[in-house]
Amino acid sequence: MYSDDKLHEECGIFGIYAPDREAARRTFFGLYALQHRGQEGAGIVSCDGRMAHIHKGMGLVSQVFNEENLRYLQGHMAIGHTRYSTTGSTKLRNTQPYILETLDGPLAIGHNGNLINAPQLRRELLERGVGLQTSTDSEVIIHLLAGAGGPDWPTRIRIMMAKAEGAYSLVILTREAIYGVRDPWGLRPLVLGELEGGHVLASESCAFATIGARMIREIQPGEIVRLDHNGYEIMQGAPPQKLAFCTFEQIYFARPDSVLNGRLVHQVRQKLGRQLAKEAPVKADIVIPVPDSGTPHAIGYAQKSGIPYSEGLIKSRYIGRTFIEPTDQLRKVGVAMKFNPLPDNLKGRRVIMVDDSIVRGNTSGPLVQLLRDAGAREVHVRVACPPIKFPCFMGVDMATQAELIAANKSIDEICEHIGADSLAFLSISGMMKALKATDGYCNACFTGEYPFQTPIPLIELQEKEKFPQVWGN
């Protein structure tokens, strides 16, 4: 595949305790709504209070599941996971949920995030004689839970939370209940919903409407929620730290119809676009998005600038979701495999192209050239977030710092590199103004200031640079 210039969220998680035996089927539709959070693998574990059943595979949710294997997933409880892997770990054995048999019955987890102390915890497990079969920190978490000791699962979860440092939103299945867990910094999202006779957990609220559920509230940093036949119970699992919710959930990852931090994501993105128009105006004839993620940003930019919104690029939404490798000749066409221009909208026009982010810079240049070839007279690129200068260690599949174009080139140099007439990024202060916040977000990829009190050890930075396959879920 041509080299994508987008950040990738690691995964989506879903959990349900329902009165009927259709938990797995509801989980399928919940995962379907969370497909944007991961397209490489999916899995579901169900339980009837005695036995657990699992099915998982590589590919999209609709490719992994069918009527036959869903009938096998019996029970009134289920958790599900849809995954985007880090480099080197696109393997079935790394696909979640993970499941173990314990003295207290089955234990299964789905994890969204990344532990920054995963190498240390992994070594400790191996020294204890625990055999690990995968290259993920999610497997580390399930073994921490299974070996935690304690009289009940909430106690064991608290013990795990005291050891794990980093980003984790979890759905956990036991013989008697479903648990949801959010890390003390609130780096990754987790929301609680209600449906007739039962309750659900998901990475995003967009998963609820699909199954006829309604959102109750967002799980707060450090909280544990238990779903069982009595309803739901929320308890504090670890002391909350300074909130550091991932800014990119608002900018790019989350589906526009989800609610995060009490606000509809689509509206937040329009505000980012309006702020960008205030900070970086330019004379032009039309504003176009890089679809689909740049669309609400471009709408906001057009609203504030008064320049007409239009479409200049049509995106094929399925090119990036195939395991069929293109030939060398097809790789050369690159962006043209995924985007087609609309010449009648572009010819002779001064165009503002709005995107949500620039990571490596290897897509923006071909897009600019695509617009010029279609007749655009000028192409001005506007980016609805600040320059990305630092890698993420909290669950985002991001390039190493050497690959991040903004870490190695000035804005003028990036502009020249992509062949634009002008280039501007949203400022950090402008971004926070649009988010209506002074803090509460993790902006480490922009600032290099990571949210953890314990600095990420240099050896771990080097391990991610050299061996990315051992990082992430």
Which residues are annotated binding-site positions? 246, 293, 355-356, 392, 442, 445
Residue 362 phi/psi, 5-degree rounding, is -95, 0
Q: Are strands 378-383 and 350-355 parallel, antiparallel or unpaired?
A: parallel
Give the residue ranges of the annotated binding site for [4Fe-4S] cluster. 246, 392, 442, 445
End-to-end CA distance of the chain: 22
Q: Are strands 259-260 and 263-264 parallel, antiparallel or unpaired?
A: antiparallel
Read off the tokens for 313: 């690029």
Instruction: Give SS3 for 305.
Output: helix
Nearest to 207 by CA among 180, 234, 240: 180
Read off the tokens for 344: 């009648």
Residue type, 340: N
How many CA atoms does the CB half-sphere of 153 hold within 13 Å?
Answer: 24
From its phi and psi, is residue 166 left (phi > 0), alpha (psi between -120 and 50) or beta? left
Q: Which residues pair with 99 in a beta bridge?
A: 108
Q: Sign of the C-alpha dihedral, residues 211, 218, 44, 58? A: positive
Interatomic CA distance for residues 128 and 205, integer angstroms? 40
Give the residue ranges of the annotated binding site for Mg(2+). 293, 355-356
Identify whether 385 is a catalytic site residue: no
The DSSP secondary-structure symbol of 309 reads B
DSSP sequence for 394-426: SSEE---GGG-HHHHS-HHHHHHHHT-SEEEE-
Nearest to 53 by CA among 40, 44, 61, 41: 44
Out of 11, 206, 385, 415, pick the active-site residue. 11
Q: Would you name the residues annotated as active-site residues?
A: 11
